[in-house]
Copies of this chain bind each other. A is one copy, B any other.
Amino acid sequence: MPRVSTDQLAARRQEILDGARTCFARHGYEGATVRRLEQSTGLSRGAIFHYFRDKDALFLALAEQDAERMADVVAADGLVQVMRNLLADPVDERSWLGTRLEVSRRLRTEPEFRERWSAHSAALTRATRARLERQARAGAVRDDVPVAVLAQYLELVMEGLVSHLAMGLSADDLGPVLDLVETAVRR
């Protein structure tokens, strides 16, 4: 039996994630059947579920990857930049956001699912607060409003933007809106 390196395992795992993301974006969460996941990843169900316990685990791994990427951008350039990047994303990336709407309902009704999901979104919240605190020390954000409120404000706008894009509504005119959001936080 050939030995498989850690790198190869990671590469295969990422290959599955990339195929699954396309599949979820195209068919929605419910519509991404095991058969379609096999087609879009080019792998058998046995191979897919060797890496991920079930479809939920696969979906949550994608959400986690999003959260990590966003947290990196937040650390470097702030949450408003994450939003600007979302606006600049091609429309098929937005289709992927659409699958989030399907799972939002489950957040409300399935406590276990909500717990797994919030572990992922917590990373983004932490990154947002940490950056705002750094910016506050540098005198770059307003000091008449607590950093915790500023962070919640940015996250609320982010929720609105994700919801807006996920519903397939137009994002053409939202650049100036994000400028306004940014100046509301700045000193």
Q: Which residues of A contact B (CB under 8 A)?
A: 28, 98, 101-102, 104-105, 107-109, 114, 145-146, 148-150, 152-153, 156-164, 166-168, 173-174, 176-177, 180-181, 183-184
Interface SS of A by simple majority? helix
Please state if A174 and B156 are interface contacts (CB–CB under 8 Å): yes
Closest residue of chain B to A164 (Cβ to Cβ) is B159
Q: Which 3 A-B pairs have the closest CB atoms?
A: A160-B160, A184-B184, A159-B160
Q: Which of B28, B156, B173 contacts A164 (CB 8 A)?
A: B156
Distance in Å: Cβ of A109 to nearest Cβ of chain B: 7
8 contacts between A and B (CB under 8 A): A101-B108, A104-B163, A107-B168, A149-B180, A156-B160, A156-B177, A158-B160, A159-B161
